[in-house]
Amino acid sequence: MNHLLFHPRLPRRGNPRGSTDRIEEFRYMGEVSEEGRNDGSKFLEAEGRDDARSDGVATSNDLRVLYPLRLDEGPTGDGDGRGPYVGVAIDVETTGLDHRRGKVIEMAIRRFRYDRQGVITDIDEAFQWREDPGEPLSPEIVSLTRLTDIDLVGEEIDEDGATRLLNSASFVVAHNAAFDRNWVEARLPGAKGLPWCCSMRQIDWRRRGFDGRALGYLLVQDGFYHNGHRASADVDALIQMLRHRDGDGTTALAEMVAMGARDSFVVRAKGAHFDMKDELRARGYRWDASDGMKVWWREVDRDDLVQERFWLAANVYAMEAKPASTGPLVERVTARERFR
């Protein structure tokens, strides 16, 4: 088994595992065999470090080993026995960003079991399908996914099998559910209306000591690397990050499930004047340009709804703000409607 060696260029604050050697930026320096020998790639000199060797070889204080992520099927060894609850992780690769115009070209699904504490106790078989979009892939998609037109010729997603897997779990999770859900429901009509969670938005990664929310970057900070932008690799990375424990021992999965179970509200600032766009954006609102909408919106927790109404009344719907409406549209959402 090979490992990757990386060189830390900038120190970072904090560490979810309690150590002080976390890395802000990585520079690839070759692979290391089981015997610990480099594959011949030249080590980079440790810049500005007192312990850098004169021969250009970084010392142990300058290196961090990242392990290839491999999630075996079966018990994880965590928790007490086989968990009674089932979740399912999903990722899709597509021909573009708009689910109404593009096609799914790769889909990966993997179920896992967890206990009452949110500990993943078992990981099921991994499923992955490719699908021929019936049109050439753009150079950008080929570069991103490393899939080619030849890889997809004649391939087809097992719609019945994928739908059964998604319906067999308590919830579906993706790392960017606002993207994946629309594509999945467009391709698998039998999977519409299921409860969804999002490991990117419903877990406070910064509180857990991580920088950023990109899946590959989270994984590297956790000590692993994977083949990013391939559906099956991203599903495994997602499951691995759900296993992360904070300082109190609470798993990321437990945090996400608790957030997903709470009702929230989508607040649409209907009639907001154009000049309010910067204030709305700074407040966390996003522009919905879909047909029939054309409105700024954000999702707020039920405990924050009253405060949000007061802010809108004082800013967006004040007379001097020249609104075209008397107030916002507010819609209650649950895990079954969220991320659409």
Copy the structure tokens of residue 147: 């899939």
pLDDT at 226: 87
What global pTM score does this model have?
0.78
pLDDT tens, position by position, 60-111: 666 878 999 999 999 999 998 999 999 999 999 999 999 999 999 999 999 9
Q: In what order do the strands lie in the sheet with 64-68?
A: 26-32, 3-8, 64-68, 224-225
Q: Are strands 26-32 and 3-8 parallel, antiparallel or unpaired?
A: antiparallel
pLDDT at 230: 80
pLDDT band at 56 (very low <50, low <70, confident <90, very high): low
Tell whether the model's pLDDT for residue 278 goes beyond 50.
yes
pLDDT at 227: 78
| The CA-based dihedral angle spanning residues 249, 252, 253, 259, taken in that order and rounded to the nearest 10 degrees | 110
- 145: nearest Cα among 231, 68, 216: 231
Copy the structure tokens of residue 40: 């011949």
Determine the length of the chain: 340
| The CA-based dihedral angle spanning residues 131, 132, 135, 140, taken in that order and rounded to the nearest 10 degrees | 50
- What's phi and psi for 133, nearest 5 deg? -80, -10
* Mean per-residue pLDDT, 221-228: 87
In whole angstroms, give the CA distance from residue 315 to residue 327: 11
In percent, the amount of the chain with pLDDT more than 70 equals 81
Angle at 218 between CA 108 and CA 25, to 5 degrees: 130
pLDDT at 55: 53
Q: Which of 97-101, 141-145, 189-193, 229-233 has the highest mean pLDDT?
A: 189-193
* Mean per-residue pLDDT, 263-289: 95
pLDDT tens, position by position, 199-220: 999 999 999 999 999 999 999 9
